[in-house]
Amino acid sequence: MKIMNKSKRIIVAMSGGVDSSVAALLLKNQGFDVIGVTLRLWSQTESDSTVKTNRCCSVEDVEDARQVCHKLGIPHYFVNFEEEFQEHVVDYFVNEYDTGRTPHPCLACNDKIKFDFLLRRALFLDADYIATGHYARLRTSEEGNVRLLQGLDGTKDQSYVLYTLNQTELSRLKFPVGEYTKKEIRDFAKEANLPVADKPDSQEICFIPSGNYREFVKLRVIPKPGDFIDIDGNVLGNHPGIQFFTVGQRRKLNLPSDNGKPRFVLRIDADTNQITLGDDEDLYQTTFVCDRLSFTSSIDTKQLLSVNARIRYKANDAPASVKFVGDEAEVTFDLPQRAITPGQPVVFYVEEEMIGGGIIKHAVIKKDLHRIAT
């Protein structure tokens, strides 16, 4: 991959979707020397090819990215990151479910693949920046720190999956589509006659074309069956393995309802293989512990931090306080939140700025506190 011009060179991660395609378009119009790069992350097997889903990283997506680059008159390259993707995304995904936690594979892909391995590859090739089609915005403060803001389109904001970025990485990144709404991005694509202008957004996990994560995990781990119990420890029945359940789940429990009321997964214990079930109201908690903390800039861990916290991608931000205890943090919401799920990210905001986050470790079920108190 020989590159001659060293002026304002930027590598755009081209997924084959409309967002990354318009990111390349916008940057070219801004005068950047744009190079499109599509990552080979997961080999599509023959059985995969028969499943039609609007997922990312398929063979069709690669061809779409190539066509967009041809239309824009920019070079396009195909880079193999399969080994890294297997280790840092797929293995992580399976291992988290194997320990009763619910992972977020897109965050792992961003953290390790796009903003680590790809960035290092880009710098090796003398590129000045890399860019993606994420809906987020960057601003530089008077002190020179790069601030990461929510995308202008609140319905598409993707700052949640970017919480692991640090100042070194942020100084080398561009998120051009974050300055616009999704409708405007599609309008730009149509005006430029890009072949992906009307292409649907990807929905499925790229390495699970069927969309059935349970079957995918089942083929790769030994199931850990155990008991369903209620909040008082009474056995309600058996389950086929902790890997196949997540906090908040009520379907596929294969248990009769309790006096007509549905049961929900409240907690998964990887030590005993017990899954605690309860009522919907038992899913509401205020306090939990998170680890694997990461912040975009320096944080005073001796002070109580007041933030708006988000505990899942589609959740609303809610006021909370963060108390640091060693390498972990205790987060307390002002009001109870539903289904605080171990393994999922919690991300912290101050107004529209994303300042960092961590991975949810465990929460406290309200009735546990009541039983202990009495």
Q: What would the pLDDT profile of 68-77 be if each residue is shown by its tens digit?
A: 999 999 999 9
Query: Is there a contact between 115 and 169 (Cβ–Cβ < 8 Å)?
Result: yes
Catalytic residue among 56, 57, 106, 109: 109
Catalytic residue among 57, 69, 206, 290: 206
**Between residues 77 and 47, the one the model is more confident about:** 77
Six-digit token string for 251: 């379907």
Residue 187, classed as helix, strand or coil, is: helix
For 191-261, strand residue ranges (E) read: 226-229, 235-239
- The CATH class, in words, for 9-191 is alpha beta
Query: What is the pTM for the complete model shown?
Result: 0.89
Given this model, what pLDDT does residue 56 score? Answer: 54
**Mean of per-residue pLDDT scores for the chain:** 89
Residue 166 has pLDDT above 70, yes or no: yes
Residue 160 has pLDDT above 70, yes or no: yes
Q: Same CATH topology for 9-191 and 222-278? A: no
- 222-278 falls under which CATH superfamily? Adenine nucleotide alpha hydrolases-like domains (2.30.30.280)
Residue 368 has pLDDT above 60, yes or no: no
Please state which CATH number belongs to domain 282-373.
2.40.30.10
The alpha carbon dihedral of 95, 98, 100, 102 has a sign of positive
- Per residue in 334-362, pLDDT (tens digit) is 999 999 999 999 999 999 999 999 999 99
Given this model, what pLDDT does residue 367 score? Answer: 52
Q: How far apart are CA 268 and CA 244, in angstroms?
A: 10
Give the confidence band of 51 by pLDDT, cuts at 50, 70, 90. Answer: very low
Cβ contacts of residue 307 below 8 Å, gap of 6+? Answer: 319, 320, 321, 322, 348, 349, 350, 355
DSSP state of 25: H
Mean pLDDT (whole number) for 240-250: 95
Query: Is there a contact between 253 and 328 (Cβ–Cβ < 8 Å)?
Result: no
- Provide the residue ranges of all domains of the chain, joining segments of one domain with +: 9-191, 222-278, 282-373
Q: How far apart are CA 310 and CA 355, in angstroms?
A: 12
- Per residue in 20-37, pLDDT (tens digit) is 999 999 999 999 999 999
CB-CB neighbours of 363 under 10 Å: 24
Given this model, what pLDDT does residue 126 score? Answer: 87
DSSP state of 254: -
Give the residues across from 130 on adjacent strands.
11, 173
- The question of whether 56 is a catalytic residue gets the answer no
How many CA atoms lie less than 13 Å away from 247 in the CB half-sphere?
29
Give the confidence band of 7 by pLDDT, cuts at 50, 70, 90. Answer: low
Q: How far apart are CA 263 and CA 370, in angstroms?
A: 20
Q: How far apart are CA 250 and CA 89, in angstroms?
A: 27
Give the confidence band of 45 by pLDDT, cuts at 50, 70, 90. Answer: low
Residue 46 has pLDDT above 50, yes or no: no
Query: Is there a contact between 13 and 64 (Cβ–Cβ < 8 Å)?
Result: no
Residue 374, classed as helix, strand or coil, is: coil
**Quick one: what percent of the chain has pLDDT higher than 70?**
90
Helix 18-29 and helix 182-191, axial crossing angle in degrees, nearest 10: 70
Give the confidence band of 121 by pLDDT, cuts at 50, 70, 90. Answer: confident
Query: Is there a contact between 175 and 138 (Cβ–Cβ < 8 Å)?
Result: yes
- The question of whether 206 is a catalytic residue gets the answer yes
Q: How far apart are CA 12 and CA 57, in angstroms?
A: 15
Mean pLDDT (whole number) for 153-168: 95
Residue 250 has pLDDT above 50, yes or no: yes
Give the confidence band of 373 by pLDDT, cuts at 50, 70, 90. Answer: very low
